[in-house]
Amino acid sequence: MLDGTLVVDVHPSAVEFAFTVSNADTDPVELTFRSGKVADVAVYDGDAVVWRWSDGRMFTQALRTDTFDPGESFTHTATWEHPSPGSYTAEATLEATNADLSVRQSFAVED
């Protein structure tokens, strides 16, 4: 079983995201990825996506499998530079083909 947490740290000129995926099972978990993108973060204003970490980025196109032992975790970080003031929801998503995991967190950017 995989667990996910999303920490959102708001600064005056940027918002930092830390998405941690942990293997909470007693057995190893194998995750398969289609590319070098293991996770993504999107920011929503209502239903509209206003920023996505992976937009404009290029990733290696190689199928790979990673094994995570019990208790092992990894953290994907992303930074949204110069956000506009407002109330948002961030959603971090694991990009594995054989696991479904996403975490949402509300936050606000002040003037």
pLDDT band at 111 (very low <50, low <70, confident <90, very high): confident
Please report the domains of the chain, with CATH numbers, ordered by start residue.
2-109 (2.60.40.2360)
- Token pair for 65: 């499998």
pLDDT value at position 27? 97
What pTM, to 2 d.p., does this model score?
A: 0.94
pLDDT value at position 12? 86
Q: Measuring CA to CA, how many Å separate 45 from each of 9, 17, 51, 56? A: 17, 16, 9, 20
Non-local (6+) Cβ contacts of 97 within 8 A are 32, 33, 34
